[in-house]
Structure 1
Amino acid sequence: MNRNLADWLDYIERQHPRSIEMGLDRVREVAQRLGLKQPAKRTIIVGGTNGKGSTVAFIEAIARAGGWKVGAYTSPHLLRYNERVRIDGEEVGDAALTEAFEAVEAARGDVPLTYFEFGTLAALWLFQRSALDLAVLEVGLGGRLDAVNIVDADVAVITTVDIDHVDWLGPDRESIGAEKAGIARAWKPLVLGEIDPPSSVLRRAYAIGASAIRAGSDYFHDPVDATHWRWREVGFEMELPNPQLAAPAQQANAAAAVAALRALDARLPLSAFAAGIAGAQLPGRLQRFEFDGVEIRVDVGHNPQAARELAAWLRAHPVPGRTLAVFAALADKDVAPVVEAFDGLVDGWHLAGIDDAGARNQDAGALAAKLAPTGAGAGARHATVARALLAALAQAQADDRVLVFGSFHTAAAALDALRSGE
């Protein structure tokens, strides 16, 4: 049977009884059958609670500006699956993805693979055949038992550690950090993108002899002026342009990307760092649109740490008018701490349902019930994000702002609506 990409995606979603099944044995077995080794001459794995996708984008852009052929694997996608796999700056086409899925299917036999595991093996198969100088792999969930962790990376990055996915990773930063630190490798660099990482991360690094490179201790980033910032380590510094990507955390993400590439190969030309940071783009990260004088910002933020970053950005970039929020979240998220970060910053809430996430779907009524203790609980309710966005725009006036956030599903629905002209 000849399957197109949509057929394959539907098929692989049904090949494991659970959407998430942590563990590496199944993936390793199929990888061996596929003959997978290292996906590129050099590999960087990026984990963390927030900032993974942005850090991957910075690493990819800098390395490509330095003349390297780069493969990048990220998840989840926003508008199409092809976003997850990029080779030399281009999304992999449908034909290549279906060929890779066919190879994984032929190799796996009766080994059940989750959707993410299937896709990870397909990406690694494509990378290995592409003669890459660098592969950059984003961890899907956690780290220690995530499918990308079958690869022994030359450099590992942990951007931040905060509360998210507690059912799988644990209830606090220490337990979550221990899971994320599983991507570190003995005697290899481990870049830590936050100034105060959990002690569990540091213990893991010290126990295996990984070379911890810590923000605020081993490298530093400081603003210079309105358009530039400085990255520095002992005996070296460089001035760099501000990232195009908005939000205060993007400078920290860019700094971690610089540290990772410096640890991997300090011979990259300095011009590559400036060009890569200035050119890196990623949809759904405070992405800006405008409609009849109303600024629209769309962000994938979906946990308390991301909400705090968004709130800090709102405070630093006020608008003359009101700020209206469109919020939709998955059913397994603790939403009250997320919206509480916006206390005093949002003038009106529009709550929306998510209906394309399977068992994690949540309608606006259920979301409102969870938010009852907060001011957002009394917000207007809408069946879909698209309808909520339309209602917010109808309410907004020139010089107002509409912020859309809460999950990748939320951002994707908003981007689809904005681009289709709904």
Structure 2
Amino acid sequence: MLIVGLEKYKNIWNLSSSDQIKPGLDAIKDALKLLGNPQDKLSVVHIAGTNGKGSTLTFIEQIARCHGLTVGKFMSPCIVDVHDQIQANGEQIIESELDQLFEQMKGAGLSGKLTDFELLTCAAFLYFAYKKVDLVLLETGMGGRDDCTNVVTPIVSVITSIALEHTKFLGPDISSIASHKAGIIKERKPVVVGPLPAEAMIVIEKEASDKNARLVVLGDQIHIIPSTTGDFYKNEMNGLEISHLVRTLPGNHQAENLALAITAFLEVAKHFAISIDVEKVKEGVLHSTLQGRFEQVFPNVYFDGAHNPASAQMLVNTIKQQFPDEQIRFVIGMLADKDVRTVLTILETVSDEFYFVDFSNSRAMNAEEMMNLSKAALKTEVKDSKSFLNHCINLPGKTIVTGSLYLLTDLRQRF
């Protein structure tokens, strides 16, 4: 897993770690013990899911901040570099702070013991404990059960969605992947889940039952009705109803993420003995924005990190809602270990114009190889993506840059 900017701090402090993915909790538990177990000092919402983690986290963050809580968040991958993955109250960690954390980790003897992501996770826990934030929003890196973030006891767990992903590590089918996601469910701690495939729900229900964890399911105890004039949220457990929830994040799937976020925040409010203020919920929702999620970067140019079939379908649905009569062109680059052919097939339902690009990642599929998988009528390889996107600003219709969050990061750095 490439973490842009991490090597700088590793080199300064001569602190080695592996860039490989190594699922399991033993290494990070040992490392955190050497650091004084900072994760045990934190009040956490733990979020897993194939898609929707970042959006759900953002909604919770803004609603919590509008209710007066200080909020730390740990996300992956980065948008620009390592600093934006660790934030407190909307401000990313600065170089001097991250430098001090690496000095502390070097002094604790962590060199050679961890992967890059485990090392960064340790830094995040240290930072949030140092900043004494009220609430930490924690995204899993991959899966859940064996993901290194799974060393916390959260206020509430959230599982946004489950689809095929990372099959090399998580297993070949939905049930296997659901088992990994279910691993973030903790004993007697509530879990909020989005609409899941039937075979995934069976796994989640069993894990929740085994852990005596209260299971709250979108479409069962909670409901959301999307609307262009504002979504309507209803919670059958406590009778809470909120209308006219106006989002800037478009798409019906974002309404589902919003419902999960409000429901999770109800558990947070209970934990901190806070009264829910409907107007503050609405304010938080209105202020929720997220880079790389149908984000307008230039006039007529949008970034969206749709990197698997499920998120590609959500992107297509959003395009149909937002630009029903517009010409659409895709600029795309993907990782070779993703289901590239299926993603292309889905995107080709709304466009016959594709431009394939290379980007800086060792796992990236070659642009020419990707182009050969496409059935689009107009397809070409673009060597200078920066100049091409500048050109797209003045073209008719909309240009959607998609395929990999790493591509979006690479392009932001070039601009």
Is TM-score (shorter-chain normalized) higher than 0.5? yes
What is the aligned partner in structure 2 of residue 256 from structure 1?
260
Shift of 1:34: 0.3
> 8 Å contact 1:385–1:410 — kept in the other structure?
no
What is the aligned partner in structure 2 of residue 310 from structure 1?
315
What is the aligned partner in structure 2 of residue 330 from structure 1?
335
SS of the residue corresponding to residue 183 of structure 2 reads: helix
> 8 Å contact 1:242–1:251 — kept in the other structure?
no
Shift of 1:272: 2.3
* 1:202 partnered with 2:210: no
Equivalent residue for 1:217, pick from 217, 220, 234 = 220
What is the aligned partner in structure 2 of residue 274 from structure 1?
282
Letter in 1 for 2:379: G
Letter in 1 for 2:229: T
What is the aligned partner in structure 1 of residue 81 from structure 2?
80
* 1:243 partnered with 2:244: no
* 1:132 partnered with 2:133: yes
What is the aligned partner in structure 1 of residue 407 from structure 2?
410
Cα distance between partner residues in 1 of 2:384 and 2:406: 11
Letter in 2 for 1:237: E
Cα 1:116–1:320 change in 2 (3 A) is same
> 8 Å contact 2:15–2:110 — kept in the other structure?
no
Shift of 1:98: 1.2
Question: Could you give the per-residue CA deviations for residues 311-362 of structure 1, whole angstroms, max 9, x where no partner exists?
Answer: 11111222544211101001211201111112331131001112x223x133
What is the aligned partner in structure 1 of residue 230 from structure 2?
228
SS of the residue corresponding to residue 131 of structure 2 reads: coil
Letter in 2 for 1:63: A
Cα 1:109–1:263 change in 2 (3 A) is closer
Greater shift, 112-121 or 225-234, is seen at: 225-234
Letter in 1 for 2:333: A
Shift of 1:416: 4.1
What is the aligned partner in structure 2 of residue 165 from structure 1?
166
Cα 1:112–1:310 change in 2 (3 A) is same
What is the aligned partner in structure 2 of residue 28 from structure 1?
29
Shift of 1:245: 1.4
SS of the residue corresponding to residue 135 of structure 1 reads: strand
Cα distance between partner residues in 2 of 1:327 and 1:10: 33
* 1:364-383 equivalence runs, <5 A: 364-369=367-372, 371=373, 374-376=374-376, 379-383=379-383
Letter in 2 for 1:66: H
> 8 Å contact 2:42–2:129 — kept in the other structure?
no
Shift of 1:378: 6.5
Question: Which 5+ residue runs of structure 2 have no aligned equivalent?
Answer: none
CA RMSD of aligned residues (A): 2.3
What is the aligned partner in structure 2 of residue 118 from structure 1?
119
Greater shift, 188-197 or 134-143, is seen at: 188-197
Cα distance between partner residues in 1 of 2:388 and 2:395: 16
Cα 1:5–1:174 change in 2 (3 A) is closer
What is the aligned partner in structure 1 of residue 44 from structure 2?
43
Letter in 2 for 1:410: L
Shift of 1:301: 1.1
SS of the residue corresponding to residue 265 of structure 1 reads: helix
SS of the residue corresponding to residue 183 of structure 1 reads: coil
Greater shift, 15-24 or 155-164, is seen at: 15-24
Cα 1:109–1:297 change in 2 (3 A) is closer
Letter in 2 for 1:31: L
What is the aligned partner in structure 2 of residue 145 from structure 1?
146
Cα 1:220–1:196 change in 2 (3 A) is farther
SS of the residue corresponding to residue 150 of structure 2 reads: helix
Shift of 1:131: 1.6
* 1:288 partnered with 2:290: no
Cα distance between partner residues in 1 of 2:14 and 2:45: 27
Question: Which 5+ residue runs of structure 1 have no aligned equivalent?
Answer: none
Cα 1:387–1:335 change in 2 (3 A) is farther
SS of the residue corresponding to residue 180 of structure 1 reads: helix
What is the aligned partner in structure 2 of residue 397 from structure 1?
395
Cα distance between partner residues in 2 of 1:13 and 1:385: 36
SS of the residue corresponding to residue 333 of structure 1 reads: coil
Cα distance between partner residues in 2 of 1:178 and 1:73: 23
Cα 1:55–1:363 change in 2 (3 A) is same
SS of the residue corresponding to residue 380 of structure 1 reads: strand
Letter in 1 for 2:294: L
> 8 Å contact 2:18–2:112 — kept in the other structure?
no
> 8 Å contact 2:58–2:288 — kept in the other structure?
yes
Q: What count of residue pairs does the alignment treat as equivalent? A: 403
> 8 Å contact 1:247–1:286 — kept in the other structure?
no
Cα distance between partner residues in 1 of 2:377 and 2:167: 23
